Structure 1
């Protein structure tokens, strides 16, 4: 899908320096799960990828040099390190020297109004906002599914912003970092785990803001004994909606919002749903499982936690920011 050109011609920096006809990308933190996924997927884009000497990856001067030489820097770092890196780039801009655009994969800036939220399908103008932004925050995996389901219903007036939303979700263990991956891949690893039971998961502010909610949702994530995949599910009592609606009405709203997307689609509901069916893809499927006689429905979003939930979303945003055709 071709999203057109970004704010600068391909290969031309804001300060006018031409980079051999190709944009250059530096992944700060490429050794992590998300960074590795992004680097692998970047082969599908006509960009030059620059890597830092592993022995100097924590050297501030070396990182600054890499940033100054890049058109776009992808931050795959813990929140504190992402904030530090963003401050380095802000200092470059203030000094009037070469400075890259930023795509951050942490949670540090996801509700920061100075950063564009990197979910292109979220609204009619969101892809354009990402394409022109100097700073973009890549969405979280769970919020991608939750926002995709909730935001259209809130904006359509079917779901009140103060609705007591409950979100249950299960993800593959690959998104939990090295410790979780090792725990699940050793013999006798856990079959299923609930977590975030302090009910203050770091994704809650992101979901609340971009879904358009005024009441904080109750969010309970979990991890299953499979590498990749995710299901986000949201139960609804139809009699509690802001306007009378059937399951078909909810589905029609979602289908209308995502009709033009090549990544997000509304699928037919069934009686079972496998969490890992979209593993290895950058797709997301939305469903409305309804029993109108009982006035109940369950909304589900199925995606790959490392695809549309992480690295795949990053590649989509990188393509938008650099004015490139996004890989299918």
Structure 2
């Protein structure tokens, strides 16, 4: 059985990535609008009515407006930030917990996770769930991403001759991914989140430094790695490594894949550890996650 999908905002980075990935999915076709009608509320509503699923790749306010003009009963996957912590929406991280994939499959409204949030939640949620990390623990999250997720102005700056080698941003310490990190990691204390961008197109590392004696039960790094391996056992797209035996990690190793890797780096004698998630910010951090959710929502179409 063929399924029809309308990508509202297909011209953006995430929308293009989803369309490219769906081209390889059998029994799926795209409902498209010509340039003259892609901003027409009437034409968009008609496309939503024709489609089995509408994917929103829009700024937050435009995503809310799209919900308002949609025919009753429209199924949505929203790639914006607008509905990630909204009541009635299912969070589109299938590996979050047992039953999450089934909840996504049955939902009418699914919010695709943020890229940084995917890495942070993958690291923190299992430890909170297993009682190793208290929800009120003071945490810092440091991350670096390729510039491709930063919008047209950032992409242009990095692709110009002499573009920036590295930059910290969101230094008002109010990045839009923080609410979803708190909600789905199970935190009740706001983490200190410092994102950055490197002079490379794709790839991401999300890091959470830890003092082992501040974790419940004072677990070893080996115990943390085992906890991740057990929690994500059987998860196709999340790979928990038994340890980290290299001196460095490159953020681009998973580019053009939909995988997420977890590592635990440690200095046991100092009682220090760093939890690390590696992913492609355009893969498991955006378009790849969206297609994973689309497949679930369409019953494997």
Q: What band does the TM-score fall into relative to the shorter chain? A: over 0.9
**Mapped contact 2:208–2:276 kept (Cα < 8 A):** yes
Shift of 1:113: 2.4
Q: Does 1:300 align with 2:280?
A: no
Q: Secondary structure at the match of 1:288?
A: strand
Q: Which of these residues, 17, 21, 27, is aligned with residue 41 of structure 1?
A: 21
The equivalent of 1:243 in structure 2 is 217
Separation (CA, whole Å) in 1 of partners of 2:216 and 2:84: 28
Give me the TM-score of the superposition, normalised by structure 1. 0.90
Shift of 1:308: 0.2
Q: Secondary structure at the match of 2:55?
A: strand
The equivalent of 1:18 in structure 2 is none
Separation (CA, whole Å) in 1 of partners of 2:247 and 2:224: 18
The equivalent of 1:176 in structure 2 is 150
Shift of 1:242: 2.0
Structure 1 regions of 5+ residues with no counterpart? 1-20, 94-98
Structure 2 regions of 5+ residues with no counterpart? none
The equivalent of 2:264 in structure 1 is 288
Shift of 1:160: 0.6
The equivalent of 1:263 in structure 2 is 237
Separation (CA, whole Å) in 2 of partners of 1:105 and 1:200: 20
Separation (CA, whole Å) in 1 of partners of 2:290 and 2:108: 15
Q: Does 1:188 align with 2:188?
A: no
Q: Which of these residues, 291, 294, 301, is aligned with residue 318 of structure 1?
A: 294
Q: Which runs of 4+ in 1 moved over 4 A?
A: none
The equivalent of 1:80 in structure 2 is 61
The equivalent of 1:105 in structure 2 is 79
The equivalent of 1:3 in structure 2 is none
**Mapped contact 2:41–2:69 kept (Cα < 8 A):** no
Q: Does 1:131 align with 2:99?
A: no
Aligned length: 298
Shift of 1:136: 0.2
RMSD: 0.9
Spell out, residue by residue over 1:200-246, the C-alpha distance to the aligned partner (whole angstroms, 9 max, x if none): 00000000010000100000000000000000000000111122200
